[in-house]
Amino acid sequence: MTSNFSIEWNELTPTWKNFQVEPFSNEIHVVRINISKNLHQVSNHKNLLTYPEKQKLSRIIRQEDKNIFLCSQVMKRIVCGHYLNFPHDEISFDFTENKKPFISGQPDFHFNISHSGDWMTMIISKYPCGIDVEKIQPDFDFEGVIQLTFHPEEIGYIFQNPDQTKAFFRIWTIKESFLKATGVGLIDNLSDLNMMKNSTPLANLNPWQIQSFIIDGNYWCSICYQAQNPKIKFYDY
Ligand SMILES: CC(C)(COP(=O)(O)OP(=O)(O)OC[C@H]1O[C@@H](n2cnc3c(N)ncnc32)[C@H](O)[C@@H]1OP(=O)(O)O)[C@@H](O)C(=O)NCCC(=O)NCCS
* Separation of CA 172 and ligand 1 centre (Å): 12
Residue type, 1: M
Cα–Cα distance for residue pair 49/60, rounded to 1 Å: 15
Cα–Cα distance for residue pair 80/82, rounded to 1 Å: 5
What range does the domain containing 224 cover? 5-236
Cα–Cα distance for residue pair 95/225, rounded to 1 Å: 19
Report, as an integer, the average pLDDT of 175-196.
88
* Separation of CA 203 and ligand 1 centre (Å): 28
Is residue 20 exposed (0-12), middle (13-18) or buried (19+ Cβ within 10 Å)?
exposed
Ligand 1 atom closest to Cα of residue 101: 29
Question: pLDDT tens across 3-60, in order?
Answer: 588 899 999 999 999 999 998 888 999 999 999 999 999 999 999 999 999 999 999 9
For ligand 1, atom 13, which residue shows the shortest CA distance?
Answer: 114
* Separation of CA 181 and ligand 1 centre (Å): 10
* Separation of CA 149 and ligand 1 centre (Å): 15
Question: What is the bridge-based pairing of β-strands 110-116 and 119-125?
Answer: antiparallel
Residue 57's CATH number: 3.90.470.20
- Say what the pTM is: 0.94
Q: Which residues line ligand 1 (CB under 6 A)?
A: 72, 98-101, 112-115, 130, 132, 149, 172, 175-176, 179-180, 183, 185-186, 190
Q: How many domains does the chain have?
A: 1
Q: Report percent pLDDT > 70 for the chain.
A: 95
Predicted local distance difference test score (pLDDT) of residue 59: 97
Ligand 1 atom closest to Cα of residue 175: 48
